[in-house]
Amino acid sequence: MWGMILLHKCDYVEPEYNFPCNKKSHTKIVINIPNKKEPIVKFACERHGDSRFNYLSLTEMKLTKSKDTNKISYHEFAEEMRSVRWKKCRRCNGMFTDSDVVCCLEYYFVKDIRISMRRSFLLHNDCLASELRFYQVQKIESHRESTLDALI
């Protein structure tokens, strides 16, 4: 079973090339959507997995830096961190409302025979859909209806 995890390739699709990376996976991403039974699992190489992880962690890193440089007190840091982790979307930084569908994105390290969780992020359903586009080859619409049959 462990060997199967190491055989996965990076699912990230480079936007400028519209082609999957296919390098050896380093990160496992498990996406839990409340209205679906099965989670969605994606894999990413070190470069792509870390870049998306860092983007989603940016607010947290800024707060930690502010606390470390004594720009905010520990009490302010703790309150804001609780808000960021449980009440805000990590992609758009918008507050969750009662009517929002909140999805969970979990990042895992995959090393040799170990799998360890890095962190989980809460996202709006719409924000998750745009995050998932990084793992899908986009259809090119310019070639649609290019035959003469449509004109006859």
- pLDDT at position 1 is 43
Classify the phi-psi angles of 140: left when phi > 0, otherwise alpha if psi is within -120 to 50, otherwise beta: beta
> How far apart, in whole angstroms, are the C-alpha atoms of residue 25 and residue 29?
11
Query: What is the residue-wise DSSP string for 102-116?
Result: EEEEEEEEEETTEEE
Tens of pLDDT along the chain (152 residues) come to 444 445 688 899 887 888 888 888 888 999 999 988 999 999 999 888 888 899 999 999 999 999 999 999 999 999 999 999 999 999 998 899 888 899 999 999 887 777 888 889 999 999 899 888 888 887 766 555 555 555 55
- pLDDT at position 110 is 83
Model pTM above 0.85? no
> How far apart, in whole angstroms, are the C-alpha atoms of residue 34 and residue 3?
30
Query: What is the residue extent of each domain of the chain?
Result: 2-56+98-137
> How far apart, in whole angstroms, are the C-alpha atoms of residue 102 and residue 85?
12
- pLDDT at position 103 is 92
- pLDDT at position 5 is 45
Q: Which is nearest to 134 in space by CA: 57, 33, 40?
A: 40
Q: Which is nearest to 33 in space by CA: 125, 135, 138?
A: 125
What are the two backbone dihedrals, phi and then psi, of residue 48, each rounded to the nearest 5 degrees? -75, -40
Which residues, 6+ apart, have CB-to-CB distance to 123 below 8 Å?
89, 90, 91, 102, 103, 104, 105, 131
- pLDDT at position 41 is 92
- pLDDT at position 137 is 82
